[in-house]
C-alpha cells in the first residue's frame, strides 16, 4: 500500500496527573498482540477519536475519545487536548459517563460540554478544567448544542411529544399498558418508535440555569422535526456571524408526506422577531447550511430531485443583501459544483469568505477541495490522488494556511492531521501503541473490466505475510447502500483489515451504484438492482478466482449488500462457496410495505408492488403509477410499470428454488429500515430448501451491531461461518 512518511513521532503516550478517574471510567486499552494479528478483540480495543475543535487562540485542539469495555459491555467518552503543533495529549476529564459535544467559549476561557443530557461549563486554564457549572436543566434533556459567535446565547436540540399515541396519553390509569397507536405513516424510524421528535431552541446564557428556551419551530404542537431524523444533528443549524439569525435545514412535512418525500429546504430565522423565511430551491435534500464569516453569503448542500436520496450532492451559494432591517434578502443563487462531477460533503468557509473547503469521494478515496465562492468557480484539489487515505473537511485553517482535519484508511481509524503545502503531519496517535504491534499487509488497486467494457476500481487486501505460492480463501464484499463507495474508510463493523488478518484475501469491487465515480455510474443501479451491478460482482469474482493462490470464495454483504447476497444465492451457479447476509432485503414486496422511509424503495424499485400484476396500459390502485396513498411521487422518472414489473418479479425470495450454497443470515431486532423478519424469512426458506444455514438475531440492535459484546459475537460468528465453509478442516485423527 502506498504510504506517505508522517512528520511526527509515534510512541505510546504515558502521562501522570493529579486528576483521579471517576467510578465507571474506561481508559485506553493496554491489549497485547503477541502474534501480530488483528482480532475482533483488538478491533474493539481501539480508541475512537472525534469532534476536534480548535481553541480561539489557535494553539490547542480539543477532542473526545471513546473507549470500550468488552467485560462491562459499554463505552465511555472523555475529553483531551493536544497542542496544535503536535505532542503529548492531555486528559481533561476522567468521568465514568460519557462527555460529548465539547465547545470552546469565544474567549477560550471556558469549555462547554454535554453530560447525561444536560449542558455544563467549566473554566479552562493551563490545560485543566475547573469546577463545573450546570448550564441547562431541560426536562426532555439536551441532545446537542452550539454557542452563538459572541457567546451570549445557546442553541440546543431537545424533543417534544409526537403524534404517536401511548395508552397513558388517553387515560392516566393506563400507565402500565404498553402499546403504540397511529393514524399516519412515519410512526417508527430507523431503530425507534417515534414517540418524540426533535425541536431546536434558543436561550440567553445570562439568566441562570436554562429550564426552557424559545422553540424555533413555534411550539410543541408543531410536528416538524428540527434537526431531521434519524441522523441529522446540530450541523443542520448555523448561527449568523452577528448572532441575529439562524439558518437551518428542515423538511416541513409530516406523516405520509414525510415518508414519501426528501424535500428539505433551508430557512432563515430571525431570533428577535420570530420571522422565518424559506430559501426555496425545490427538489430533494437541502442540508448543512454554513454562514460566511462576513455574513454576506450562505452555502449549503443540495439535491435536485425529490424522492431520490442518492442524487448528486451540489454545493449551493446564496448571495445575501443585509442592508435592510429584518431577514437578509437573497440576491442570487449559484450552483458552485455545476461543473464538478462528484458529490460535495461537509463544507467549511475559509476565514476570508472568498472560498469554501469541502470533502468529496473521488475515484475511490475521499479528498479535500477548495472552490472559489464566485459564479466563475475554480476548484483546487488539496490532497494528492496518490494518497490512499480518506480525508474529512478541515475543522480549522491556521494563519499560515495549514489545514487541520482528520483522516483514516483501511489500515487505521481516525486521527488528527495537519495539511500544508505538499506536506502532511499526523498530530494524534491515539492507537499507535496497538497498531504498532500488528503485522503489515498489502493493498492493491485493480481495474477490473466489466461485461460492458468499463473499468471498475477494485481494492484487494492480502493477509500479512502473503505468499503467492500458497492457497488462500477469499471474501468478496457486496456493498450496501445501494449507493455508497468502498473507499479508504475505516469501519468498526465491516473491517477489511481485520478480515485480511484472519487469513483472507479481501476483494472490494466498486460496482455500479458507487458514488465516487460520477453520477452516471451511480445512477445505473436505480431501477436495475438485478442488472449490471450484479454482473460487476461476478466480474470481480472471476478476476480473483483466476489467481492461482485463491481457493474458495465467499460473498458477504449488509443491507443492499444483503439483498445482493440473497439474489446472488439464486443465480450464481457455483461461483461462491458460502454466503453471509446481514440486514438484507429478501422479499421486496413485503419490504416495501414494512420499511419507513418510503421515498427510497419507491424510487429505486421503479414503483410500487401493486403495479407489477397489471398489464401495460392498465392502471392499478395507484392510478398512473406516480401516486400512492394520495401522495404525489414527484421526481420519480419511472412510470411504476415496466421497471417495477421486472424488479418485483426478480425479488430474491422468488429464486429460492435455486439456493444450494451455505448461508448465514444476521439481523437486528430493532432494525426498522430493513425489518428483521426479512432475515427470518431468508433463513426459513434456506432451511426448507435443505440448504446449510444459520440465523442470528440481535433483539436490541438496529441496522448495525453496536454494543461491545454483541459486536464481538458478530465478528466471531462471521469468521466461524467463513472458516467452516472456506478453510480446509484438518482431520481430527491426524
Residues designated as active site: 559, 671, 703
Give CA 484 to chain center in angstroms. 10
- Alpha-carbon gap, residue 283 to 635, rounded angstroms: 8
Angle between helices 532-545 and 560-571 in degrees, nearest 10:
70
8 A C-beta contact, residue 367 and residue 344: no
* Selection from 473, 462, 476 nearest residue 508 by Cα: 476
Calculate the alpha carbon distances from 626 to 184, 453, 532 in Å: 20, 35, 26
8 A C-beta contact, residue 519 and residue 312: yes
Cell reading at 228: 431531521
Q: Give the three-state DSSP class for 496.
A: helix
Strand-pair partners of 247: 238, 268
Element (H, E) at 722: helix 708-726
Element (H, E) at 499: helix 496-501
Q: Give the three-state DSSP class for 718.
A: helix
Provide CB contacts within 8 A for 481, sequence distance 6+: 310, 513, 514, 559, 560, 561
8 A C-beta contact, residue 77 and residue 94: no
Sign of CA dihedral 134, 135, 141, 143: negative
- In this structure, the chain runs to a length of 734
The 3-state secondary structure of 337-361 reads: CCCCCCCCEEEEECCCCCEEEEEEE
Q: What are phi and psi of 277, to 5 degrees?
A: -125, 130
- Alpha-carbon gap, residue 77 to 17, rounded angstroms: 18
Cell reading at 106: 469565544
- Alpha-carbon gap, residue 115 to 142, rounded angstroms: 9
Element (H, E) at 713: helix 708-726
8 A C-beta contact, residue 221 and residue 215: no
Q: What are phi and psi of 403, to 5 degrees?
A: -95, 130
Sign of CA dihedral 34, 40, 43, 48: negative
* Selection from 60, 104, 62 nearest residue 79 by Cα: 62
- Alpha-carbon gap, residue 397 to 405, rounded angstroms: 9
Q: Give the three-state DSSP class for 303.
A: coil
Give CA 441 to chain center in angstroms. 27
8 A C-beta contact, residue 462 and residue 500: yes
- Alpha-carbon gap, residue 200 to 285, rounded angstroms: 19
Amino acid at each position: 500500500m502506498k504510504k506517505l512518511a508522517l512528520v511526527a513521532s509515534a510512541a505510546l503516550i504515558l502521562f501522570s496527573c493529579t486528576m483521579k478517574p471517576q467510578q465507571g471510567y474506561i481508559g485506553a486499552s493496554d491489549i497485547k498482540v503477541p502474534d501480530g494479528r488483528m482480532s475482533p478483540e483488538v478491533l474493539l480495543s481501539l480508541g475512537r477519536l472525534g469532534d476536534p475543535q480548535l481553541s480561539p487562540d489557535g494553539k490547542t485542539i480539543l477532542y473526545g475519545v471513546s473507549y470500550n469495555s468488552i467485560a462491562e459491555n459499554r463505552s465511555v467518552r472523555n475529553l483531551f487536548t493536544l497542542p496544535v503543533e503536535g505532542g503529548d495529549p492531555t486528559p481533561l476529564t476522567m468521568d465514568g459517563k460519557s462527555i460529548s459535544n465539547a465547545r470552546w467559549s469565544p474567549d477560550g476561557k471556558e469549555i462547554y460540554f454535554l453530560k447525561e443530557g444536560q449542558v455544563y461549563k467549566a473554566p479552562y486554564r493551563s490545560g485543566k478544567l475547573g469546577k463545573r457549572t450546570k448550564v441547562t436543566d431541560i426536562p426532555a434533556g439536551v441532545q446537542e448544542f452550539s454557542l452563538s459567535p459572541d457567546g451570549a446565547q445557546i442553541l440546543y436540540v431537545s424533543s417534544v411529544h409526537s403524534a404517536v399515541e401511548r395508552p397513558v396519553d388517553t387515560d392516566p390509569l393506563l400507565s402500565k399498558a404498553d402499546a403504540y397507536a397511529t393514524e399516519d405513516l412515519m410512526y417508527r424510524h430507523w431503530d425507534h418508535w417515534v414517540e418524540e421528535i426533535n425541536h431546536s431552541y434558543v436561550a440567553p446564557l445570562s439568566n441562570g440555569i436554562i429550564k426552557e428556551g424559545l422553540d424555533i419551530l413555534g411550539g410543541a404542537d408543531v410536528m416538524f422535526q428540527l434537526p431531521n431524523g434519524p441522523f441529522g444533528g446540530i450541523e443542520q443549524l448555523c448561527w449568523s456571524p452577528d448572532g441575529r439569525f439562524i439558518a437551518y435545514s428542515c423538511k416541513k412535512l409530516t406523516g405520509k408526506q414525510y415518508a414519501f418525500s426528501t424535500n428539505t429546504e433551508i430557512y432563515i430565522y430571525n431570533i428577535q422577531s420570530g420571522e422565518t423565511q424559506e430559501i426555496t430551491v425545490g427538489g430533494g435534500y437541502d442540508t448543512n447550511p454554513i454562514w460566511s464569516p462576513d455574513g454576506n453569503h450562505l452555502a449549503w448542500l443540495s439535491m435536485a430531485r425529490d424522492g431520490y436520496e442518492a442524487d448528486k450532492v451540489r454545493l449551493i451559494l446564496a448571495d445575501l443583501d443585509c442592508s435592510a432591517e429584518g431577514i437578509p434578502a437573497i440576491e442570487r443563487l449559484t450552483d458552485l459544483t455545476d461543473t464538478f462531477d462528484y458529490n460535495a460533503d461537509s463544507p467549511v468557509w475559509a476565514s476570508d469568505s472568498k472560498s469554501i473547503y469541502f470533502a468529496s469521494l473521488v475515484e475511490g478515496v475521499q479528498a479535500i477541495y477548495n472552490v472559489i465562492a464566485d459564479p466563475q468557480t475554480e476548484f483546487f484539489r488539496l490532497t494528492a490522488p496518490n494518497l490512499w487515505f480518506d480525508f474529512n473537511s478541515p475543522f480549522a485553517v491556521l494563519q499560515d494556511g495549514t489545514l487541520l482535519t482528520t483522516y483514516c484508511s483501511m489500515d487505521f481509524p481516525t486521527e488528527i492531521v495537519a495539511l500544508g503545502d505538499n506536506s502532511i503531519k499526523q498530530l494524534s496517535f491515539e492507537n499507535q501503541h496497538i497498531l504498532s504491534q500488528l503485522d503489515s499487509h498489502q493493498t492493491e488497486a485493480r481495474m477490473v473490466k466489466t461485461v460492458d467494457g468499463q473499468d471498475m476500481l477494485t481494492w484487494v487486501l492480502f493477509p500479512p505475510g502473503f505468499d503467492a505460492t500458497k492457497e488462500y480463501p477469499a471474501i468478496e464484499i457486496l456493498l450496501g447502500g445501494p449507493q455508497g463507495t468502498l473507499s479508504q474508510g475505516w469501519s468498526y463493523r465491516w473491517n477489511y483489515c481485520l478480515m485480511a488478518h484472519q487469513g483472507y484475501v479481501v476483494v472490494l469491487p466498486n460496482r455500479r451504484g458507487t458514488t465516487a465515480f460520477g453520477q452516471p455510474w451511480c445512477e445505473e443501479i436505480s431501477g436495475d438492482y438485478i442488472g449490471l451491478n450484479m454482473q460487476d460482482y461476478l466480474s470481480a469474482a472471476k478476476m480473483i478466482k483466476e489467481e492461482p493462490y485463491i481457493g474458495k470464495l465467499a460473498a458477504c454483504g449488509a443491507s443492499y449488500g444483503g439483498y445482493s447476497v440473497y439474489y446472488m444465492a439464486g443465480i450464481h451457479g457455483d461461483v461462491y462457496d458460502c454466503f453471509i447476509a446481514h440486514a438484507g432485503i429478501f422479499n421486496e414486496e413485503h419490504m416495501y410495505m414494512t420499511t419507513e422511509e418510503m421515498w427510497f424503495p419507491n424510487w429505486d424499485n421503479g414503483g410500487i408492488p401493486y403495479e407489477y400484476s397489471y398489464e401495460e396500459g392498465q392502471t392499478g390502485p395507484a392510478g398512473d403509477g406516480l401516486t400512492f396513498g394520495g401522495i404525489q411521487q414527484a421526481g420519480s422518472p419511472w412510470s411504476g410499470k415496466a421497471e417495477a414489473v421486472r424488479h418485483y418479479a426478480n425479488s430474491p425470495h422468488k429464486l429460492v428454488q435455486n439456493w444450494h450454497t451455505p448461508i448465514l443470515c444476521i439481523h437486528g431486532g430493532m432494525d426498522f429500515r430493513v425489518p428483521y423478519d426479512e432475515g427470518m424469512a431468508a433463513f426459513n426458506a434456506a432451511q426448507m430448501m435443505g440448504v446449510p444455514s444459520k440465523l442470528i438475531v440481535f433483539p436490541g440492535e438496529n441496522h448495525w451491531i453496536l454494543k461491545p459484546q454483541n459486536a464481538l459475537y458478530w465478528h466471531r460468528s462471521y469468521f466461524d461461518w467463513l472458516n467452516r465453509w472456506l478453510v480446509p478442516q484438518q482431520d481430527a485423527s491426524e
